[in-house]
Structure 1
Amino acid sequence: MSPLALPPDMRSRLRRLSLVPRRATTLTGAGAHASRNRGGGLEFAQYRAYERGDDLRQVDWKLYARSDRFFVRDAERESPLALWIVIDASASMAQTDVARPDWSRFDAARRIAAGLMEIALRQGDRFGVVVEAGDGPLIIEPGAGPRHRDQVLLALGRLHAGGVGSWARDMAAFGGKMGRSDLIVLLTDGFDEGCIDAAEQLARSGRDLCLIQILTADERDFPFDHGHRFRDVE
């Protein structure tokens, strides 16, 4: 299965999650994060097929009577929040797990990114992506809606991890695009000092940043008993 394809059980679990910035006071509008929500908004956005866990009150029963299929009405309101997903695509992120040689850290990062976009889409939040690779950053500015999600997934599906990221150089390209009230999630193995420096710089600027470190099972458990030589691929 592609790392960008979310299994049905994962989609079901994602419905119980939400993205809420820690600095809620920086948002405009009422409440901590109530200014844009799929399903509970003011303006009709689209129909979509009913999925397990959806609120039955959102089912369009007239459409069901005509088509004999369940459809849910999505609505939206404007949101002051933009989610930025920053993915480390340096060579070390291509490391695979011994237990699953077809699955790399970069695959895991893309799966997490797909899940985060699904949550943002359900909330009605805008989301954008930065992929920092050896040949320079890919920057997709925040947008909303299923079409924007599909465009981001298509772009991520073409990418591979490799090279050495130039975080200090590229921060000027994408750091200025991130608003002070935006939520930033950084997906990395944490082995690049330049990446950690960039994360610290974004955090010091007052932005709401969450760093998720992605490791293989052997790196997490370190089950080695004898001598081993480790090679830095970057």
Structure 2
Amino acid sequence: MQRMPEALIPPDVRSRLNELRLQAQRTRAAQGIGLHASHNRGAGLEFSQYRSYEPGDELRQIDWKLYARSDRFFVREAERESPLTVWLLLDASASMAQADQAKPGFSRLQAAKSLAACVVELALRQGDHFGLIALREDGVQLLPASSGPRQRDRLWLSLHSLTAQARFPQGERLNPVWERIVADDLVIVLSDGFDDGCIALAERLAAARREVIFIQLLTAEERDFPFTGGHLFHDPETGQTVSGDGKAMRAEFLQQFNRALQMLDARLDAAGIVHVRHVLDAPLDIPLRQLFGKHARP
């Protein structure tokens, strides 16, 4: 039986996480590639500038090669990294239980759990704080933000017990989101994007100065609609079932589905929300590379 970390993060994906650096998009746009840096100066990792040596500076900060050339002491000054608080906001409504027929054991929710675990590994490596808020109609599952290996273990356990059911919560049930997530926190929403309540929550968070990233999770069947012959299509949240001929329905479905995706993209763009799309048959780390890789767009 696989241990939980290996079950959530495949070994090949884990090895590629070393190439990624978790960062808020506003910081990337303002300062370029690098970790979220404060205006405090110190012996961080990102080189900023040289300045003259002052009493009390650490000797390890002196650039000895520059001293050999100039006969003067100069200190390498760097941006000091400041902790970021990352919130993983998981849609746990019933539609997230959807999986492809080819991979029945790997649902949207399972992909969301694995992506969340990957983000946690990045945050842990950088000394950031991270927390979890899972949302479904019967309540909110909350793990307050903290840091360190024990926090990672607690989050793994929370993910392990999480199931998808009912609808997305509304109204007062969302109060814990506003009680915990404060301005300038980074919020990563993991959802299929089919519930207007989830999109509206992301918009409200962005409008309230929360840094919001939206990862939409889709099945390969939604992308390709490979059905032929008679088929029953079931909505897990409403319980409604529609029958039809897959081949005859394909063109209209794909047209309407792609139109819905375009409308969602436009809505997230208008709110200033960075967003990527992940299809379940693609490598798990692709959306993370798009967001946090070396060439990620601001």
| Fold-level similarity (TM above 0.5) | yes
Query: Are 1:200 and 2:197 matched, yes or no?
Result: no
One of 9, 13, 17 as aligned partner of 2:16: 13
Q: Residue type of the partner of 1:179?
A: V
One of 123, 127, 133 as aligned partner of 1:124: 127
Structure 1 segments, 4+ long, off by >4 Å, are 1-4, 225-229
Contact kept? 2:94, 2:166, Cα under 8 Å: yes
Structure with the bigger RCO (C-alpha within 8 Å, sep 6+) is 1
One of 131, 134, 138 as aligned partner of 1:135: 138
Query: Are 1:222 and 2:239 matched, yes or no?
Result: no
Task: State the 1:41 CA deviation.
Answer: 6.7
Q: Aligned equivalents of 1:157 and 1:13: distance in 2?
A: 23
Query: Are 1:108 and 2:77 matched, yes or no?
Result: no
Query: Are 1:91 and 2:94 matched, yes or no?
Result: yes
Contact kept? 1:97, 1:217, Cα under 8 Å: yes
Q: Residue type of the partner of 1:19?
A: L
Query: Are 1:172 and 2:175 matched, yes or no?
Result: yes
Contact kept? 1:136, 1:165, Cα under 8 Å: no
Task: State the 1:228 CA deviation.
Answer: 4.7
2:235 aligned residue: 232
| CA distance 1:110–1:84, change in 2 (3 Å) | same
Q: Residue type of the partner of 1:109?
A: A
| CA distance 1:199–1:41, change in 2 (3 Å) | same
2:214 aligned residue: 211
Query: Are 1:156 and 2:179 matched, yes or no?
Result: no
Identity rate, percent: 47
Q: Aligned equivalents of 1:16 and 1:168: distance in 2?
A: 40
Q: Residue type of the partner of 1:133?
A: R
Task: Provide Cα deviations, 1:22-53, integer angstroms capped at 9, x if missing partner.
Answer: 2239x9xxx86146xxxx979xxxxxxxxxxx
Contact kept? 2:91, 2:191, Cα under 8 Å: yes
| CA distance 1:227–1:211, change in 2 (3 Å) | farther
TM-score (norm 1): 0.74
Contact kept? 1:132, 1:167, Cα under 8 Å: no
Q: Aligned equivalents of 1:230 and 1:140: distance in 2?
A: 35
Task: State the 1:116 CA deviation.
Answer: 0.5
**How many residues are paired up?**
192
2:55 aligned residue: none
Task: State the 1:201 CA deviation.
Answer: 1.0
- Match of 2:20, SS? coil
Q: Residue type of the partner of 2:103?
A: R
- Match of 1:212, SS? strand
- Match of 1:113, SS? helix
Task: State the 1:140 CA deviation.
Answer: 0.8
- Which structure features the higher share of helix residues? 2
Task: State the 1:170 CA deviation.
Answer: 2.6
Q: Aligned equivalents of 2:170 and 2:144: distance in 1?
A: 18
- Match of 2:168, SS? coil
1:146 aligned residue: 149
Structure 1 segments unaligned to the other structure (5+ residues): 43-76
Q: Where do 1:50-69 residues align within 5 Å?
A: none
Task: State the 1:4 CA deviation.
Answer: 4.8
Task: Provide Cα deviations, 1:90-128, integer angstroms capped at 9, x if missing partner.
Answer: 111111111111111111100000000001111111000
